[in-house]
A = this chain, B = another copy of it.
Amino acid sequence: MKRRATIATVAEQAGVGVGTVSRYLNGGYVSAEVRTLLSQVIAKLGYRRSATARNLSLGQKGCIGVTVDSSVDPWFTQLLSGIEEGLAAHDTSLMLCSLELRGEYDPSPVLGWIRDRRIDGLIIAKSQKRERSLLQSAVDEGLPTVMVAPDEEVRDVHVVRCDNRAAGMAIANHLADLGHSRIAFAAGPQHSVDSKHRLAGLREGLAKRGIQFDLRSVFSCNSWEAEAGAGFAETLLAKPLRITALVMANDALALGFMRYAQQYRVRIPAQLSVAGFDDVPEGAYVWPGLTTVAQPMREMGNAACRVLLETITGEIGLQRIEFPMELHARESTAPPPR
């Protein structure tokens, strides 16, 4: 098996200098005759330029990193598609790393990316408190970084997120329109600002409609996972229902809740309306379909990508992009029982 052709091989075969070949490859000055000659030689040799060598010479990496708690998360998966779309036609690859594997949190691979400068930029999805060290490293190293839907307040890096407060208000209006007045909210993780904003929006929206909503109607699942939603259902449904509508802090919780509720013969939405946030795909593939407020995940991924690439090439100021969320009313909400 003979050695792979390099730029030098091409130059030699064509009887020109390597500089000329390089210029040809990158679209610089080169005479028409040499141009056709080179295209032939390259085709004959099957030459491909080495991305590694090119990146070394250019001082870049040719890829960005994307990290998230778990790549199994359907929300993230949608975002990822958006990022991939944004990357298409940009000759930049995507490196992926889950922070939590087999239940163990280990950010060291990503720290490795950052320290060893393996990536030109970094997208951190859905970060929480524990991602602070990661963020700090990225900032310290001056690595272009964008956070998507961070679940904390963040400065120093680009942020792409949604208006969770408005989303809460959208749900409030939807439930008020249906005629509900006895409504409860089940929160996510304790320190989640997303959960807090969604609740705040809900309260504000209900207040505007003249519906009172006291703190005894606020429960907590302490998690974003479906299991927790099912667990909450177990405790809530153990006692007689005092509410006609339940707002879960996200879709996963809502789906977990519905699964448990249906198992125990609670009729949704006849007895109880249920709503969530995010609009993960499963919500549309259960019965009844889950009413929710959608995050435009793909658009967010696109935006994150665009901002990151622009930061890598030129300089642009710190971006803070906020997308609206959109109510998707399906079958899990209906007028309350009389």
Contacts and interface: CB of A to CB of B under 8 A. Distances in A.
Interface of A: 1, 48-53, 55-56, 61-63, 70-72, 74, 77-78, 80-81, 84-85, 88, 91, 93-98, 101-102, 106, 109, 112-113, 115-118, 142, 226, 255-256, 258-259, 262-263, 281-282, 285-287, 289, 331
15 contacts: A50-B116, A52-B56, A53-B56, A63-B95, A72-B77, A72-B78, A81-B101, A84-B97, A85-B101, A88-B101, A88-B109, A95-B95, A255-B285, A258-B287, A282-B285
Contact of A117 (B50, B112, B113, B115): B50
Q: How many copies does the complex hold?
A: 2
Nearest to A106: B88
A97 B64 CA distance: 13
A278 to B, nearest CB: 14
A264 to B, nearest CB: 10
Nearest to A287: B262
Nearest to A142: B1
A109 B90 CA distance: 10
A94 B96 contact: yes
A51 B116 contact: yes
A83 to B, nearest CB: 10
A312 to B, nearest CB: 15
Given A52-B52, A52-B61, A94-B97, 7 more contacts: A51-B116, A62-B118, A70-B81, A71-B81, A72-B81, A88-B109, A286-B286
A102 B77 CA distance: 14
Contact of A256 (B115, B285, B289): B285
Contacts of A49: 116
A296 to B, nearest CB: 14
Contacts of A62: 118
Q: Most chain-B CB neighbours within 10 Å: which of A115, A262, A286?
A: A286
B71 A74 contact: no
A122 to B, nearest CB: 13
B77 A71 contact: yes
A259 B285 contact: yes
Contacts of A72: 74, 77-78, 80-81, 281
A281 B227 CA distance: 12
A44 B322 CA distance: 41
A118 to B, nearest CB: 5
